[in-house]
């Protein structure tokens, strides 16, 4: 009888703890998603409606806001979207491929300065972009590359953070025996990397591709220093220009709809690739 009572009390305690955990998780989820909900609601409301205060229900001005944004001659939105897609996509492609290749070289080859090279790359990872920005701007100015996409794309080949993640993932998911077997079968190093290593690295590549894409998509600092032509500016620059407009011409509806245009495609990409992100982070964070 006593054992049955103790078991019943234990089950009740477990249920209470589980209910509390669910409550905390739901609360945290609500806190995280509520700003996006406000953004979505305000993107459907006009400027006068937004000035009246918060509303939990969407408005009917989403098409009006879209029309105002895309008809604004001072803000080439379509060009900004295409520019952001081009720069972000190439950044994601180059950073993941070449970082995986670098990680493969450090992981699969044994040479004298391997540890020194690895430590050097980690030290470079600690240097903030703002510290080297002045020297970088002077360098590309001497190469006549101002107002060009090249300085925003080519440096992504050297991405220390992506390299570090790829290296950790390889240590947990890429046995060197597979590489040795490929070499014994007569495959050269590039064929081994492209046809054997890359398929194994798909989860890690998916994770870092989306992270690199988002980082480049949201990047404002360097593009604002490099890009001068209105038709070459990216979305974050156009959002900042619209936000800093004259008070009499300032339209909160346009600001919210433009931010929504910039954010929701990234959220959709996260949802589509969430399976790979969870798998890649789980495996990449555990050293085999």
Q: What is the CATH number of the domain that holds 156?
A: 1.10.3720.10
- The two tokens of residue 18 are 């589980």
Q: Do residues 32 and 105 share a domain?
A: no
* 286: confidence class by pLDDT, cuts 50, 70, 90: very low
The sign of the CA dihedral 101, 105, 106, 112 is negative
- Tens digit of pLDDT for each residue in 50-95? 888 888 888 888 888 888 888 887 788 889 999 999 999 999 999 9
Q: Do residues 30 and 77 share a domain?
A: no
Q: In this structure, how many other beta carbons lie within 10 angstroms of the beta carbon of residue 98? A: 17
> Looking at the domain assignment, is residue 55 inside a domain?
no
Q: Do residues 97 and 36 share a domain?
A: no
Q: Do residues 70 and 37 share a domain?
A: no
* Domain membership of residue 192 as a residue range: 66-284
* Dihedral pair phi/psi, residue 152, rounded to 5°: -90, -10
Q: Do residues 148 and 22 share a domain?
A: no
* 227: confidence class by pLDDT, cuts 50, 70, 90: very high
Report the distance separating Cα 134 and Cα 130, nearest Å. Answer: 8
Query: In this predicted structure, what is the pLDDT of residue 55?
Result: 84
Q: Do residues 142 and 17 share a domain?
A: no
What's the number of domains the chain is made of?
A: 2
- Tens digit of pLDDT for each residue in 141-179? 999 999 999 999 999 998 999 999 899 888 888 888 888
Query: In this predicted structure, what is the pLDDT of residue 288?
Result: 42
Q: Do residues 25 and 159 share a domain?
A: no
- The two tokens of residue 137 are 């701007």
Q: Do residues 135 and 10 share a domain?
A: no
> Looking at the domain assignment, is residue 114 inside a domain?
yes
> Looking at the domain assignment, is residue 49 inside a domain?
no
Q: Do residues 71 and 191 share a domain?
A: yes
Contact between residue 92 and residue 209 where contact means Cβ atoms under 8 Å apart: yes
> Is 0.85 topped by the overall pTM?
no
> Looking at the domain assignment, is residue 237 inside a domain?
yes
Contact between residue 100 and residue 198 where contact means Cβ atoms under 8 Å apart: yes
**Consecutive H or E run containing 276:** helix 274-284
């Amino acid at each position: 009888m006593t054992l049955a009572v103790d078991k019943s009390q234990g089950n009740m305690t477990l249920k209470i703890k589980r209910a509390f955990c669910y409550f905390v998780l739901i609360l945290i989820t609500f806190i995280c998603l509520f700003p996006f909900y406000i953004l979505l609601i305000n993107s459907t409301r006009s400027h006068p409606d937004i000035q009246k205060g918060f509303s939990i229900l969407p408005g009917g001005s989403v098409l009006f806001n879209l029309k105002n944004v895309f008809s604004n001659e001072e803000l080439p939105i379509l060009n900004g979207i295409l520019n952001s897609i081009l720069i972000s996509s190439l950044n994601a492609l180059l950073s993941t491929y070449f970082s995986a290749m670098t990680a493969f070289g450090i992981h699969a080859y044994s040479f004298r300065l391997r540890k020194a090279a690895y430590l050097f790359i980690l030290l470079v990872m600690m240097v903030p972009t703002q510290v080297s920005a002045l020297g970088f701007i002077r360098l590309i100015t001497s190469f006549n590359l101002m107002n060009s996409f090249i300085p925003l794309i080519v440096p992504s080949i050297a991405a220390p953070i992506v390299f570090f993640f790829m290296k950790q993932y390889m240590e947990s998911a890429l046995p060197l025996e597979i590489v040795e077997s490929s070499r014994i079968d007569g495959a050269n190093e590039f064929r081994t990397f492209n046809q054997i290593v890359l398929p194994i690295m798909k989860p890690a590549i998916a994770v870092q591709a989306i992270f690199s894409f988002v980082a480049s998509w949201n990047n404002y600092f360097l593009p604002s220093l490099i890009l001068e032509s209105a038709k070459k500016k990216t979305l974050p620059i156009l959002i900042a220009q619209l936000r800093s407009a004259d008070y009499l011409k300032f339209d909160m509806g346009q600001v919210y709809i433009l931010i929504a245009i910039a954010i929701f495609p990234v959220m959709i990409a996260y949802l589509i690739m969430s399976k790979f992100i969870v798998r890649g982070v789980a495996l990449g964070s555990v050293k085999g």
